A = this chain, B = another copy of it.
Amino acid sequence: MRSLRKTVLLAIVASVVLVMALLHSWPTRAHTTVDVWQRPGPAVERHLEERFPEPDHRSANIPYRVKESVAGLLARNGCVCEGESGGMNLPFAQLLFPRVSAHPMHTAFEASELEEMKKRRAKEYQGFQMRSQTPADMLIVAEANNPLQYPTQGMEVRPLKTILIPGLAVQDHPRELYTVSRPITFGLSYYFQYYSICLVLVFFVLCLPLNFFLSQVNFTSTLGTLNVAAEVEGVKVKGDGEMHMTLTSSLLSNLNRQLQFVTYTNTLFHPSTADTVQVETEGHQAMFTIKVRHGVTPKLYNTGPKGEYNISALVTIATKTFLRYDKLQDLIDSVRKYYSTVTIVIADDSENPKMVSGPYIEHYIMPFGKGWFAGRNLAVSQVTTKYVLWVDDDFIFTANTKLEKLVDVLERTTLDLVGGAVREATGYTATYRQTMSIEPGEEEGDCLHMRRGFHHIIQGFPNCVVTDGVINFFLARTDKVQQVGFDPRLARVAHLEFFIDGLGSLHVGSCDDVIVNHATKIKLPWVSQSESDKTYAKFRYPPASSDATHTKNGLLYFKNRFQCLTHN
């Protein structure tokens, strides 16, 4: 009997536990759906009207004179692929007087496939735009004489969280003035308006009953709800917790106190977007955006012990090699003379890879001929220090190759990358500084303009300048370089493509007082490969290499949506 009772008791307890577990795990909240489809919806109106705005009826007759020196700087409707024409036709003309040449990118494709490529590129670009634009990019113009005081910038809420909306208020003004003054001012001269306004004002203000002065503020949001964190006496709140909320009061000061407690709660999850909130009072409207996004998580690096710059803790040297083990060994030996414990990462896509070993050497073997930028991307993907120093495998470190100087620049400035100088056997030293700008185009694509030179000298670092592209000897923040990346689709020669991909993201500098030697006897321009590479560049392509979009120009055309490249 007893044991039976015990069993029954245990069974009851077990079933109670199971039932509670079931209840607990029962889906308690109805899951909402979200629409994340890529559809060609109302495109966010981003194009600022670069043409002069059409005059309205009031200003149609006002004469003006175009100021060419300024008007000529405005963006044109689409960019045109043209270089500098004319110039002298003398020997060495291009060397002495470098002219700008223009190169259309569509030439990477056969005429037969170009149309298909254009369509495909347009479709991919549309998807990209839909994913990258938010209401925070939209042009908003604040109405004049709006009794509303409201925040126009700077609001941000984490997804599904709540914030107080700061700065909201309604400031008193003679309301009837606006209702009446508009039709009166229409067509009348400036001065006459004042007299008319005053007369009407006297009439209306004196005659209207006092309870006409009920103030109301309406809010509307789309990706979240509005509410109040506290309820103020004398204010009626309607629609709290919904996407449309109204605050009404006959006492303006109470209404303003209530406005200090208005909250916004994001309810439709998105990792990075913006909600547009509309506020309205007495016929006046205002609009502002609240960014909805996870905060920007920092990616910080441990810098090692304090004191002098500990280069081994701060810097990893990265390089790619192909067939040139002798030059590679010379590089390693020269590095070790000055930096015995700095890690060197080597990406190697040689056909019969040899062993490269030693303390603080990391050697990576790739499929044969996988490619130049693939190798660069591999090497930087393995770096675990705050900075990465890129070197070509035929460089030689000398006493002038003071990495501490480059580290000092990145430690003290907001630059992300700083290039050095490469000295040829002839003594000629190059920094290969390039400025770049993108001129927006229309369906044909944008125009990329590259010019030798720089933007400014860096204050405090007289040997250093700010530019957009540098030579292949640079120190950079590892997280920024990894973020930009070296596109593995570029199997052949490539250099500035990295900086093109980094535009808007990398803050680039160049110092000419940190010099590395170049071992190659023949001076080669920075965008070509060594001789042995050239011979079998043809064999480097994996089967998909028949893809024209993997050539330099094909990639600029398709991937970056350029129609034209101009340079000097």
Contact = CB atoms under 8 A, between A and B. Distances in A.
A162 interface: yes
Nearest to A195: B205
Contact of A17 (B90, B234, B488): B90
A232 B485 CA distance: 49
A396 interface: no
Nearest to A256: B59
Contacts of A213: 190-191
B138 A153 contact: yes
B382 A378 contact: yes
The 6 nearest A-B residue pairs measured at CB: A139-B154, A141-B167, A294-B504, A34-B456, A152-B152, A144-B171
Contacts of A67: 227-231
30 contacts: A17-B96, A37-B460, A48-B155, A50-B164, A53-B164, A55-B260, A64-B257, A66-B230, A70-B229, A71-B229, A74-B162, A74-B164, A121-B300, A124-B303, A125-B298, A131-B414, A131-B416, A144-B149, A158-B437, A159-B455, A190-B253, A201-B201, A271-B504, A271-B506, A294-B436, A296-B504, A297-B560, A343-B544, A374-B382, A382-B488
Contacts of A363: 367
Interface in A123-169: 124-125, 128, 130-132, 136-156, 158-164, 166-167, 169
A120 B302 contact: yes
Interface string A158-186: 11111110110111111001000000010
A151 B142 contact: yes
A111 interface: no
Given A378-B378, A455-B160, A233 B143 contact: no
A458 B70 contact: no
Interface stretch (A285-293, A398-406, A420-428, A527-535): A285-293
